[in-house]
Structure 1
Amino acid sequence: MTAVGTLTLSSAYAECLTCDDAVGGKMATNQMLLRDLPITVWTDKTTYDHNDKIMVHGNVATVSKMPVTLTVTSPNNSIVTIAQLDVNSDGSFETTLMTGGELWKQKGTYTIKVNYGTFEKNNKVLVELTGETSASSNNCGSSELYLKGNYCVPYTITGGKVTGASINSNDKSIIVKISADEDGTLTLNPDKSVLDGIFMVLVDGQEWDDVEIGDNSVTIMFPVGTEKIEVIGTFVIPEFGTIAVMILAVAIISIIAVSAKSRLSIMPRY
Structure 2
Amino acid sequence: MRSYLVVAGLMLLVVTIPAYAQSQTVTVTVNQQSFAQGESIVVSGTVSAALIEHPIILQVFSANDNWLDAGQSTVAQDGTFAYIFNTGGDRWSTPGRYSVVAHYSDSTAEVEFSITEARLPTNGGDPIRADCTQTVDGGALGEVEVRCSISGGTVNSMRMAVEDLSIVLRISSETDGNISLNLPVALIDAKDMNGSNENFIVRIDDVQVPHEETGTSTISRTVDFDFIRGETIIEIIGTRAVPEFGTVALIVFALGFAAVAAMKRPGLFGTSGFR
Band the TM-score falls in, shorter-chain normalisation: 0.3 to 0.5
TM-score for both structures, normalised by structure 2: 0.41
More helix by share: 1
Q: Which has the larger radius of gyration?
A: 2
